[in-house]
Copies of this chain bind each other. A is one copy, B any other.
Amino acid sequence: MPHDIDLSRTTVWTRRYGDDAGAPQGPWNETIARLLGHRSVRAYARQAPPPGTLETLIAAAQSAATSSNLQTWSVIAVDDKDARAALAAIANDQAHVAQCPIFLVWLADLSRLQRLGTANGARLEGLDYLEMFLVAAIDAALAAQNAVVAAESLGLATVYIGALRNDVRRVAALLGLPPGAAPVFGLCIGYEAAGAAAEVKPRLPQDVVLHRGRYAAHDEAARIADYDRILAGFSLRNEMSNEGWTKRVLARVGSVAALRGRDALRAALAALGFPLR
């Protein structure tokens, strides 16, 4: 069920940036407060959203910008229990992939344009390039994020599942993807399980990611030290850990093994019909 959310601007802002971040001075409204209140949720109630919810979310997704209106993405709603279990296993056994009421697999999809070319006797040379895969992945991300915003506006919770990329060939086989279509991530949607609510996760100080005029990283080390302390506090209250950001980053990208098979993504995409020239 949707939680009551405190939408006051100082509360929302300090949850996101820490208690010392001060109050924001800019324009504000309820949509922005809800965007700032986003949390990824990994425990879902059984209750299904009302009929028509999926179609509403996909209409929001299709309304996002798409490069040159090429619409180089597709999405598959997966209900079948066995398929869900197989996808959960690919995603490091994340149980919510099997359990959430709506599970979507978002695709970078150049296959539709390829079919259009074939039907018109045209070889679409541009599709072989890294650029067009990137267009498709970005299109899919913009669309999915609109679906997330729409879902959260309806009191639903979500979490992206990047771990589908652990084995994109197996995902493609499970879902019957044609050449030129590849999964970029999954998305769980549903109501948050009672008692599961955690705090909003703090992010890096804004001046670490926002640059003015030119890229400038001069204060970064001190600012990240601040953030390490803020995130360690969050972890202690919510995750029975006391790890800051630095330690997590080093563990997550410090070795090829930590990529969990995604070091083979380039070869796997080639096998799915993306030469990435």
Contact = CB atoms under 8 A, between A and B. Distances in A.
Quickly give the copy total for this chain: 2
Interface in A170-195: 175-178, 181, 184-185
B68 A256 contact: no
A181 to B, nearest CB: 7
A49 B40 CA distance: 31
A217 B129 contact: no
A97 to B, nearest CB: 15
Interface string A53-74: 1111011101111111111011
B62 A16 contact: yes
A37 B65 CA distance: 11
Contacts of A248: 68-69
Interface string A18-38: 000000111111011011111
B56 A27 contact: yes
Best-surrounded residue of A50, A142, A208, A276 (most CB of chain B within 10 A): A142
Nearest 4 A/B pairs, CB to CB: A26-B52, A141-B141, A126-B253, A26-B56
14 contacts: A16-B59, A35-B64, A38-B65, A58-B206, A68-B248, A75-B209, A83-B213, A116-B249, A117-B253, A117-B254, A119-B221, A137-B137, A138-B141, A175-B214
